[in-house]
């Protein structure tokens, strides 16, 4: 027995962690943990300002660190694609750094929305545990308190989003998926107004999210059974070496694909998206619609380009089908919507379909155009949801489209900015949406997917109809007598709307710098 | 003779039972229990594959899955408790305000 212990003990080496390469994620998680301490020890009056400084500072610092890693010659010196860090758990390469930088900027703008407190105390419940309509809830509302836990929860979610596309093995990816999802489930249920809808959204998101992560995990188990490892490169090697049981491999790809496509909200896994986007507090919807989508696409790209890169011909037909039903389903159902947040949710489903056409190309052009589209769409969608928070009636936000009638006559600026975001979603030239759509469709044609591009063009034409209808409603119809008011936003929402609008216009008129950055990020694909 | 393949077949059966449970049961807690059954089926298959391949990765992953499942219970029960206190019902059919 002693000989056995003696023989085994020395072979456990100390893990080597590259703290410098992981510093953006470590900073965000560190700020999140510090936020929990602020919540516990700071006096209530000071909490919000402490949290704001910590959250915005943490995200900005992580962005600076991301740039520092991107220009680090020890990572990319000698034409290297990147480096594997943390004992093979994390891949640090150019596409990942582009995605992480995008997530950090978009999260920063979303936190500006979360911090808005001028129309009411905040967008979040005074006490989420208090039953709606109870005396306890009224006490909290009268006292003017709000949940400041939203800031650390947001940081934990953003930390998970940073790790999700960077994970080089499927176990890390699963843990990151849960770290990003669990805080979002809670954030969805914290709305100050319409709490029944908010709680229902949280329950639906949670049950469906847990269901889909079970599928993701079973896919991981199948791939582990196939290759004996959860490392993406090892799975790719086993797949191209044609060793192991092919049934396990294909079952694994399918189940893993279900888990990832659920997070993206592709048809037929889109059922949660409209309900959750409508019910969640609008700043949280903005966070989900931008950052979660970017992170989920980052993970999908890494898995399908690295682990299944040799099997393009096997997964492409299924992804074609998903992309087609996503583009058509999202745009057709968008026509029937009467709620502005649901309309934006279905539009987000259709946009996910357009980005999927870039993913399917499985080339550097496909990768770079997807990266550009994600960044451009993220800014526009945050801006659109920011405008939604401004149009209010006594019950909170006026989501129903009928109350948006004539908005352009009473507040031309707000309606004009919203119209700008809508035409960007529709892909009209001189906006970022046009450049993004052009780039992904061009990549898809380069990848031989002409029918997909035809369906994409038809879907864009269908999707333009609900957008134009909203614009016509805002500018060419009479406002109702008891219509909503457009509140004067504080500096937080104003800057979120301004950043969104500016990015949409600048990326539409001079897209060259960001396109080149995305192209440079994509030239060597992901590190293996 | 029971081989690892039998365990994997059992895991697949448990996973399907859990999946059907999520789809047909009406009580949110039972739905959630079905998800947990799916996760445990996955754990069983990880351990069977670990035995099959002769490496310990699968067993370590099973521990990670248990920790994540426990975290999911914390968040999930918080959400389900708050919705039960509001509606006096845990049925997923009653939560029907968000549609179309």
Q: Which of B24, B97, B99 to mutate to test the interface with A (most CBs of A within 10 A)?
A: B97
ipTM: 0.97
User: Where residue A252 falls among pLDDT bands split at 50, 70, 90?
Assistant: very high
Facing B72 at nearest CB: one of A178, A218, A275: A178
Q: Which residue of A has its CA nearest to B99?
A: A275
pLDDT attached to residue A2? 45
For A336-489, list the strands marked E by DSSP. 391-393, 396-397, 485-486
Q: How far is A178 from chain B (nearest CA, A)?
A: 7
| Helix, strand or coil, per DSSP, at residue A393 | strand
Facing B35 at nearest CB: one of A210, A224, A228: A210
Span A116-133, pLDDT tens digits = 887 776 888 888 888 888
pLDDT attached to residue A527? 84
Q: How far is B2 from chain A (nearest CA, A)?
A: 18
Taking residues A487-514, what's their average pLDDT? 94
pLDDT attached to residue A497? 96
Is B86 part of the contact surface with chain A (CB cutoff 8 Å)? yes
Neighbours of A413 (CB within 10 A): 10
CA A194 – CA A393 distance, rounded (Å): 13
User: A92 - beta bridge partners?
Assistant: A83
Q: How far is A498 from chain B (nearest CA, A)?
A: 31
Q: How far is B87 from chain A (nearest CA, A)?
A: 9
Are the Cβ atoms of B95 and A132 closer than 8 angstroms? Answer: no
Facing A278 at nearest CB: one of B72, B79, B98: B98
Tokens representing residue A11 in the block: 């072979």
Is B40 part of the contact surface with chain A (CB cutoff 8 Å)? no
Is B46 part of the contact surface with chain A (CB cutoff 8 Å)? yes
Is B32 part of the contact surface with chain A (CB cutoff 8 Å)? yes
User: A124 - beta bridge partners?
Assistant: A191
Model pTM? Answer: 0.95
CA A31 – CA B68 distance, rounded (Å): 22
For residue A448, the number of C-alpha atoms closer than 13 Å in the C-beta half-sphere is 6
Using CA atoms in the order A317, A323, A329, A335, what is the torsion angle rounded to 10 degrees?
Answer: -150
Is A145 part of the contact surface with chain B (CB cutoff 8 Å)? no
pLDDT attached to residue A1? 41
Ranking A424-428, B18-22, B96-100 by mean pLDDT, the lowest is B96-100
Span A330-349, pLDDT tens digits = 999 999 999 999 999 999 99
CA A397 – CA A376 distance, rounded (Å): 26
Please say if the pLDDT value at position A4 is more than 60: no
Q: How far is A201 from chain B (nearest CA, A)?
A: 8
Q: Which residue of A has its CA nearest to B35?
A: A211
Ranking A63-67, A226-230, A487-491 by mean pLDDT, the lowest is A487-491
Tokens representing residue A192 in the block: 């100050």
Tell me what the pLDDT averaged over chain A comes to.
92
Are the Cβ atoms of A207 and B31 closer than 8 angstroms? Answer: yes
pLDDT attached to residue B94? 82
Span A29-67, pLDDT tens digits = 999 999 999 999 999 889 999 999 999 999 999 999 999
Q: Which residue of B has its CA nearest to A179?
A: B68
Taking residues B70-80, what's their average pLDDT? 94
């Amino acid at each position: 027995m002693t000989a056995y212990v003696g023989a085994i003990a020395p072979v456990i080496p100390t893990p080597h962690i590259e703290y410098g390469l992981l510093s953006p994620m470590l900073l965000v998680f560190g700020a999140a943990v510090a936020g929990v301490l602020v919540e516990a020890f700071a006096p209530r009056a000071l909490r919000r300002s402490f949290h704001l400084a910590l959250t915005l500072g943490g995200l900005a610092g992580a962005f600076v660190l991301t740039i520092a890693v991107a220009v680090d010659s020890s990572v990319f010196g000698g034409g290297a694609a990147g480096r594997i860090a943390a004992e093979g758990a994390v891949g640090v390469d150019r596409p990942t750094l582009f995605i992480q930088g995008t997530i950090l900027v978009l999260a920063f703008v979303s936190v500006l929305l979360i911090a808005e407190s001028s129309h009411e105390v905040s967008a979040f419940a005074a006490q989420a545990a208090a039953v709606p309509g109870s005396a306890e809830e009224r006490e909290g509302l009268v006292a003017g308190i709000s949940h400041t836990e939203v800031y650390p929860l947001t940081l934990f979610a953003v930390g998970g989003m940073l790790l999700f596309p960077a994970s080089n093995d499927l176990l890390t990816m699963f843990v990151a998926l849960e770290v990003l999802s669990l805080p979002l489930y809670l954030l969805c249920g914290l709305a100050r107004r319409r709490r029944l809808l908010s709680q229902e959204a949280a329950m639906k998101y949670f049950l469906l999210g847990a269901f889909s992560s079970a599928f993701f995990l079973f896919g991981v188990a199948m791939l582990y059974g196939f290759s004996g490892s959860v490392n993406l490169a090892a799975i790719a090697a086993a797949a191209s070496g044609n060793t192991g049981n092919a049934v396990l491999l294909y079952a694994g790809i399918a189940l893993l694909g279900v888990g990832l496509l659920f997070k993206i909200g592709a048809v037929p896994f889109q059922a949660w998206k409209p309900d959750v986007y409508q019910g969640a507090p609008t700043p949280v919807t903005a966070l989900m619609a931008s950052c979660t989508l970017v992170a989920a696409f980052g993970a999908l790209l890494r898995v399908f380009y690295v682990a299944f890169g040799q099997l393009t011909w096997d997964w492409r037909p299924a992804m074609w089908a998903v992309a087609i039903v996503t583009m058509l389903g999202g745009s057709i159902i968008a026509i029937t919507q009467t709620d502005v947040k649901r309309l934006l949710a279905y539009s987000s489903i259709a946009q996910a379909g357009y980005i999927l056409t870039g993913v399917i190309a499985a080339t550097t052009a496909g990768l770079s155009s997807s990266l550009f589209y994600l960044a451009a769409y993220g800014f526009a969608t945050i801006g659109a949801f920011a405008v939604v928070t401004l149009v209010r009636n006594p019950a909170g936000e006026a989501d129903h489209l009928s109350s948006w009638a004539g908005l352009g006559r009473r507040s031309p600026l707000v309606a004009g900015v919203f119209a700008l975001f809508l035409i960007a979603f529709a892909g009209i030239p001189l906006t970022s949406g046009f450049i993004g759509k052009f780039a992904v469709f061009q990549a898809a044609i380069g990848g031989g997917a002409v029918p997909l591009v035809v369906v994409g063009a038809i879907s864009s034409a269908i999707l333009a109809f609900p957008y134009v209808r909203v614009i016509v409603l805002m500018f060419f119809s009479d406002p109702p007598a008891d219509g909503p008011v457009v509140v004067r936003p504080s500096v937080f929402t104003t800057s979120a709307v301004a950043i969104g609008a500016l990015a949409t216009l600048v990326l539409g008129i001079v897209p060259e710098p960001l396109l080149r950055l995305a192209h440079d990020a994509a030239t060597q694909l992901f590190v293996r | 003779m029971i081989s690892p393949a039998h365990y994997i077949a059992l895991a697949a059966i448990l996973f399907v039972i859990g999946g059907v449970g999520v789809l047909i049961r009406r009580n949110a807690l039972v739905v959630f229990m079905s998800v947990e059954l799916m996760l445990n089926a996955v754990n069983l298959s990880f351990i069977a594959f670990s035995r099959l391949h002769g490496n310990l990765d699968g067993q370590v992953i099973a521990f990670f899955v248990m920790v994540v499942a426990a975290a999911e219970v914390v968040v999930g029960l918080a959400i389900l408790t708050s919705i039960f206190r509001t509606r006096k019902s845990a049925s997923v059919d009653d939560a029907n305000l968000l549609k179309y």
